[in-house]
Amino acid sequence: MKRQRYLPLALGVLTLARLALLPLTELSPVEAHAALCSQDLDLWHPMTGPLLPLLMRLSTAVFGLNEFGVRFFAPFLMLGAGWLVWKLANGLFDVTTAAWAIVIFQVTPIVNVAAVTFTNTTLAIAESAALLVLLRQALHRPLRFHLHWWAVAGMAFLAFITDWRLVVFSLAGIGCLALTRRGRTALLKWPVLPILGGTLVFALVLFLTWNSEHGWIAFHFPGTGLSIFRGVWHHGLLAYGIPLIALLGWSVVDITLQRPLSYAPAFLLAFAWPLISLDFISLHNTPWPQAGFAAWLPPAVMLAAARLMQTERITMRAKVWIRSTAVLAAAFQSCIVLQPHLTRTLGVNWSFAPPHHAGLLPGNPARDLTGWRMAANQIREALSANQLNPAHCFLMAEHWDLSEPIAFQLRNSVPPIPWPHFDSSKDAATFNKTTTIFITDDASLQQPPKYILATWPNFKIISVFTLNSYDQPLRTLKIFACSPAHGDEK
């Protein structure tokens, strides 16, 4: 009896479990931002292109503007990406390698996070797997009117409008073709290069033209404040774990150093390396639950599965032990990342405070997915206690990862919060007669920033409260009420 026959059933159960997890956590700042953008669609938004908000608009139209509606597509995208990984690995190698590739792919923590949240990382992983499959089909199954090449160009365009940094997909695809003999032959045939190059030029011209007329809004995305090396280490450890990172890194580097390379490894490596470079550059300034784009994961897991099956330097017993250890460790870390309080259920009194882990982890992985509804309720209570009408107040936060989830939770009762920053030349003229509510998570701050005091010089602290989850501190919020000097308040 072949064990592969149980894979569809296991994937179906896994997808149902992921669907059940969608409403159990609140929207993270990056998801809340995209959800707010979905209510006012445009070609580009800060931090994201038009594709993610558009998909959220479609799902929320059916399921409502809530956690389940916003994230509805995520489990199905990861299910589809897993199926594409299996399909490609089966075509390039064999069915056993394909089975191990899909198992490694589905237990990876970042894939499980991407399946229960909906960010650009979710789309990038799915688009990466789809582009690889389309490239291979275009190389082996030419159709009339070059439909496969148009499909490849279309997928690269979808990646670009997911996030402009995913223009690297085009470089990765061209690298796949240029570094394999079959690919070079296809690339020089008419009209393959004009199709691919023309689509890329069209995307870049559209991006530059629109953004030059809208203040280069696509470049407005925040950093985490981490250095590049520390950020890569922190996010990588949280998103993949040491055993899986070691397995993926060993397989990619080991195959890269081999000479000569056969077609399948060369095809996957040429695609993976540009995307690995992209993540190394961008991993430190992508907010959780994003961890870079992880678009290199589909080719990497196929290379890892193939290398473990084919290498003769490791005994069969050692291969089984390595595979099992990496898979079990990744599955356990996925549970911890998705539900950190599970450690307490298991009797482990783990704390995410830095003294307990020597600074190896960036903190509680659920911190950005918890406490926003409670914060919104506390803000409403503070306004009510001070006889302030939320509809007549102008709320703003110190930084975007406070403003977006709070704005989402208060979307039905307060005006929108300007992001990425308060523009005194524009916003002051609109809201200078209203009371401004300034929210910060810096408990030591004794007064609002100078750009607020310049318009609203009178202020008082109306509330300070700390949010906790399972005895773990999440954040301390301090709320200022600022009013104009002339006292003409609504």
**What is the number of structural domains in the chain?**
2
The 10s digit of each residue's pLDDT in 309-355 is 776 667 777 777 777 777 777 777 777 777 666 555 555 555 555 55
**376 shares a domain with 330:** no
Q: Are 454 and 432 in contact (CB under 8 A)?
A: no
Q: What is the pLDDT of residue 287?
A: 80
264-283 b/e (C-beta count within 10 Å ≥ 16 → b): bbbbbbbbbbbbbebbbebb
Q: Is residue 438 classed as helix, strand or coil in its secondary structure?
A: strand
Of the listed ranges 17-21, 70-74, 221-225, the one predicted with least confidence: 221-225
76 pLDDT more than 50: yes
The 10s digit of each residue's pLDDT in 266-308 is 889 889 989 988 888 877 677 888 888 889 999 999 998 888 8
228 pLDDT more than 70: no
The C-alpha torsion from 206 through 209 and 210 to 215, rounded to 10°, is 140
Q: What is the pLDDT of residue 488?
A: 46
Tell me whether residue 345 is in a domain. no
Tell me whether residue 50 is in a domain. yes
**382 shares a domain with 294:** no
Tell me whether residue 343 is in a domain. no
**d(C-alpha 348, C-alpha 55), whole Å:** 39
Tell me whether residue 149 is in a domain. yes
Tell me whether residue 359 is in a domain. no
Q: Which DSSP state fits 244?
A: H
Domain of residue 375 covers: 371-483
**80 shares a domain with 192:** yes
Main-chain dihedrals φ then ψ at residue 138, nearest 5 degrees? -65, -35
β-strand partners of 458: 483
DSSP state letters, 80-100? HHHHHHHHHHHHHS-HHHHHH
**270 shares a domain with 400:** no
Tell me whether residue 349 is in a domain. no
**d(C-alpha 172, C-alpha 235), whole Å:** 23
Mean pLDDT of the chain: 82
**d(C-alpha 369, C-alpha 279), whole Å:** 23
The 10s digit of each residue's pLDDT in 99-109 is 889 998 998 88
**271 shares a domain with 401:** no
In the numeric block, the tokens 């009178």 are attached to: 458
Q: What is the pLDDT of residue 80?
A: 95
**272 shares a domain with 154:** yes
Q: What is the pLDDT of residue 259?
A: 74
Q: What is the pLDDT of residue 122?
A: 95
Q: Which DSSP state fits 48?
A: B
DSSP state letters, 396-431? EESSHHHHHHHHHHTTTTSPPPP-S---TTTHHHHH
Q: What is the pLDDT of residue 434?
A: 74
The 10s digit of each residue's pLDDT in 438-478 is 888 888 888 888 878 877 888 888 888 888 876 677 888 89
β-strand partners of 438: 396, 480
Of the listed ranges 125-134, 137-146, 223-232, 407-416, the one predicted with least confidence: 223-232
Taking residue 310's Cβ as centre, other Cβ atoms within 10 Å add up to 13
Question: Tokens at residue 211, please?
Answer: 């953004």
Task: Please state, for a pLDDT cut of 90, what percent of the chain lies above it.
Answer: 27
Q: What is the pLDDT of residue 223?
A: 54
Question: Tokens at residue 341, please?
Answer: 């309080």
- Residue 245 pLDDT class (50, 70, 90 cuts): confident
Main-chain dihedrals φ then ψ at residue 425, nearest 5 degrees? -75, -20
Total residue length of the chain = 490
**d(C-alpha 117, C-alpha 338), whole Å:** 10
Tell me whether residue 241 is in a domain. yes
**d(C-alpha 440, C-alpha 457), whole Å:** 17
1 pLDDT more than 50: no
**389 shares a domain with 312:** no
- Residue 490 pLDDT class (50, 70, 90 cuts): very low
Distances (CA, A) of 226 to 48, 244, 287, 359: 21, 23, 11, 13
**443 shares a domain with 310:** no
**Of 285, 315, 338, which residue constitutes the final position of a domain?**
338
**386 shares a domain with 301:** no
Distances (CA, A) of 137 to 86, 143, 152, 192, 275: 15, 10, 9, 14, 21
pLDDT winner (highest mean) among 89-98, 180-189, 230-239, 345-354: 89-98
127 pLDDT more than 90: yes
**399 shares a domain with 283:** no
**53 shares a domain with 12:** yes
| 96 vs 418, higher pLDDT | 96
Q: What is the pLDDT of residue 318?
A: 74
Count of CA atoms in the C-beta half-sphere (13 A) of 185 = 7
Mean pLDDT value of segment 177-203? 86
Mean pLDDT value of segment 144-161? 90
Q: What is the pLDDT of residue 221?
A: 67
Tell me whether residue 424 is in a domain. yes
22 pLDDT more than 70: yes
224 pLDDT more than 60: no
**375 shares a domain with 330:** no
